[in-house]
Structure 1
Amino acid sequence: MVDVSIVIPAYNEQERIVNCLDNAMRQSVSPYEIIVVDNRSSDATCTLVESFIASHPDSNVKLLHQDEEQGLIPTRDFGFTNAKGDVFGRIDADCMLKPDWVETVADLFSRDPQIMGATGPAVYYDMPAKHLGITSDDKIRRFTYRADGGKVLLFGSNMALRASAWRTIKNKVCRDKPDIMHEDIDISLHLIDQGLKTGYCRNMITGVSARRMDTPFPSFRKYMQRFQNTFDAHPDHSRAHDTEYALYALYPPLRALYPVYQKYLHLRHIEPAKQIWSKEQAELPKTTSDQTF
């Protein structure tokens, strides 16, 4: 079984970073290491991670600092450079990994030595109708998140990359100084450039926040434009489906529902990031829980 390092770039993520670490540690198979890479946070992100490490002295959580340059790409790259596992799991600081995520990733990469990058669906943990949400997300990603006749594009909030593949493309990925591209799609296209296999696994599931849908439409539209910007920067690649149009269709109802549902959660004293995988976590072997907490 391969060793999986989890890399979490973080900038001002005090609201969810502890929940993210909790879920990354509550796994049926422990990750080799969990690396939080702070990028000049001005809030309590670093303090919270340091407190988490102090409270879990036997954990494999590490806090690194990437202070030379502001931005997700250099922060991500710094984390990958310092990771020691055979496979790098890449998630965001507000992601809540399903308790079998590491096991699923390790099994996938162990069974198929040709696979170099993998991704899976996501569920919005701070929105209602979780089952419908994950079914819809799975459909969008399986059928539209593709390039060049069906090759899988990776999703940055839920992706894994073989260490050897990263070493192959690390000096080729775009730096995107203007910050107008999707860095996960850029990685995907560079993998495809090198003839490296990417795959989609329906059981590789993470919880993500729907907070992006709570942004004003001009900001949301600018974010969606990153899809086309990324392909414009890679003119040798094409796509049959424009994923952003499916997301545009989801925007109005989710934009209207998100603040209403947040008020409901607040009134009921529900912490969705803690509860998203509570049933699955309760079913973990007791030895796993004892080792982690």
Structure 2
Amino acid sequence: MLKVSIIIPAWNEEERIEDCLTCATVQTRAPHEVIVVDNKSTDRTVEVVERFIADHPGTPVRLIHQDAEQGLIPTRNAGLNAATGDILGRVDADCMLKPDWVEVVTGIFTEDPKAMGASGPVVYYDMPLKKTGLRGDNRTRRLIYRADGNKTMLFGSNMALRATAWHAIAGEVCRDYEDVMHEDVDISLHLLGKHFKTVYSPRMIVGMSARRMASGFVSFKHYTDRFRNTFDAHPRHTRFFRPEYLLRVMWPFIHFLYPIYQRRMEREHVDCAAAVWRDEQQRILAGSSQLTH
């Protein structure tokens, strides 16, 4: 049985890290380990993680620190290098893994021994029409998130790769000191450069926040420019679709709707992140409780 490690880089994520850990541990198949990599947080992130570990002694959560430098890439790398699983999952600290995520990921890599990386769609838990949004994200992501013809690129908020694949590219991935690239696209292109197979699965689902769309357009455009910058840094690789164009078209609608929906949820006292998989989590917990009696 393949062992799945989940790596969660974290910087000042006290509001969401507990929900993220709950989703990572309340799974139909338990992960081998969940590694939170704190990157010099100045809020209560470390305290929240330590309390979660103390309150859930049976869960394989551990906390490590990456204090050498500030930044997502060295923090991500520290977590991937510290992991001991066969498959290395990587999600953001505000992401909520679907309760069958580990099971689905295990199946992907078990059924396809040649698969070296995998990714899937996301549902925006802090936006309305979640099912419709998930279907739309699935259709567009599997179509346009491609490189070198029709090869899958991995999405940083919902990705997994074999430990052997990571160790093959770990010394080559771009450090991006200027902070102008998409680190997940960079990983994808390094995998493809080794002729490693990457796959897309519509069942590999993660909930994530649409808060990026709440930023101003100039800031958001700079964020989407990272696609171009990353491919410019890898001239051997090609792409036909430009995800940044679609994101910029979507920005006005989501930018307008996002704060309205947040105010509504606040009035109704709904924590969207905590609620996104609650029913499924409760069924898992109820089943576990029955097995212990």
Matched residue of 2:118: which SS?
strand
Question: For residue 82 of structure 1, what is the aligned residue in structure 2?
Answer: 82
Does residue 270 (structure 1) correspond to residue 270 (structure 2)? The answer is: yes
In the alignment, residue 277 of structure 1 is paired with which amino acid?
A: W
SS at match of 1:175: coil
Query: Structure 2: 5+ residue runs without aligned partners?
Result: none
Equivalence for 2:101? 101
User: Offset of 1:213 from its aligned partner?
Assistant: 0.4
Matched, 1:240 2:215: no
Tell whether the 8 Å contact from 2:8 to 2:91 is kept in structure 1 after alignment.
yes
User: Percent of pairs identical after alignment?
Assistant: 55
Distance in 1 between the 2:103 and 2:257 partners?
34
Counterparts of 1:29 and 1:289, CA distance in 2: 15
Tell me which residue corresponds to 2:162.
Answer: 162
2:210 aligned partner: 210
Cα offsets for 1:116-154 (capped at 9, x unmatched):
000000000001000111011111211100001100000
Residues 115-154 of structure 1: matches in 2 within 5 Å? 115-154=115-154
RMSD: 1.3
> SS where residue 283 of structure 1 aligns?
helix
One-letter code of the match for 2:31? P
| 1:135-184 superposed Cα distances (whole Å, 9 cap, x missing partner) | 11111211100001100000000000100000100001000000100000
1:30 aligns with 2:36: no
CA distance in 1, matches of 2:234, 2:281: 41
Per-residue deviation, 1:279:
2.2
User: CA separation in 2, counterparts of 1:192 and 1:134?
Assistant: 27
Higher mean C-alpha displacement, 282-291 vs 217-226 = 282-291
CA distance in 2, matches of 1:275, 1:200: 26
Q: Deviations over 1:241-275 (max 9, x none)?
A: 00111111110010001111100000000011111
Equivalent residue number for residue 51 of structure 1: 51
Q: Deviations over 1:207-252 (max 9, x none)?
A: 0000000001111000000000000000011101001111111100
Residue 251 of structure 2 aligns with which residue? 251
Q: 1:282 corresponds to which letter in structure 2?
A: Q
How many residue pairs match? The answer is: 292
Q: 1:32 to 1:288 in 2, by over 3 A?
A: farther
Superposed CA deviations along residues 75-107 of structure 1, whole A, max 9, x for unmatched, are 000001100000000000000000000000011
TM-score, length of structure 2 as denominator length? 0.97
Contact 2:26–2:285 (CA under 8 A) maintained in structure 1: no
* Structure 1 match to 2:220: 220
Q: State the Cα deviation string for residues 181-212 of structure 1 (Å, max 9, x = none).
A: 00000000000000100000000000000000
Measure, in 2, the Cα distance between the counterparts of 1:11 and 1:28: 28
Shift of 1:284: 2.1
> Any unmatched runs of 5+ in structure 1?
none
Secondary structure of residue in 1 paired with 2:157: coil
